Amino acid sequence: MDETLKRSLAFPLSNIFSLVFGGLLNVFSILVIPIFFVYGYFVKIAEESIKNKSEIMPEWKKWKELFIYGVEHVFLFCLFFVLPSWFLGKFNFIIDTIFSIWIILFLMLYPFTICTLADKKKISFCFKFGSVLLLIKKVYWEYFLGGVVFASLGFIFSYLNPFLEWTVFLPSLINFFWYCSMINYFSLLYKKSVKI
């Protein structure tokens, strides 16, 4: 297995408290406000992974910063994924096709888009798709490998979720674990790509 991938899959276990706390906060994302802190935390992981501050999961602190990061992250996710998904099936075939292509492109660019937000600290850079694509091109094989691995894990976890729903906490913890691993992996790739 790729060394970076192996390290990223173990990354959430580097700070059990942050992992468990994130899983608990994820449970309460249904209340809306907590989701901004959770999504902000993912940007924080990207930031620290890119800056090489630590190979350990960040502590839950600087709540104002996490919230701002979260608002920006959720805005990007809604603009590029939720909104187009909502419009699917409401127009004719051509418009639906355009929205479908847009969603697929976003899912392809999404990891490095969040890394760009964490690195540049300005949401405007996330709309420079050409720059994001150039970074992906430099590490395309590892980017593709990571996409396949994390998409497969996501599929497996989503299959297991119905069997774990009675615990309430476990599906949220697993989802949080998966997301932290994925963000860490693509952040390390992003850092490598920037240096090439």
Q: Per residue in 38-94, pLDDT tens?
A: 999 999 999 999 988 668 899 999 999 999 999 999 999 888 877 777 766 666 667
Neighbours of 13 (CB within 10 A): 13
Q: pTM of the predicted model, to two decimals?
A: 0.89
69/43 Cα distance (integer angstroms): 6
Q: Token digits for 186?
A: 């693509």
137/196 Cα distance (integer angstroms): 11
Among 107, 123, 118, which residue's Cα sits nearest to residue 75?
A: 123
Residues 6+ apart with CB under 8 A from 77: 39
Q: Where are the domains of the chain?
A: 3-195
Q: Per residue in 162-173, pLDDT tens?
A: 888 778 789 999
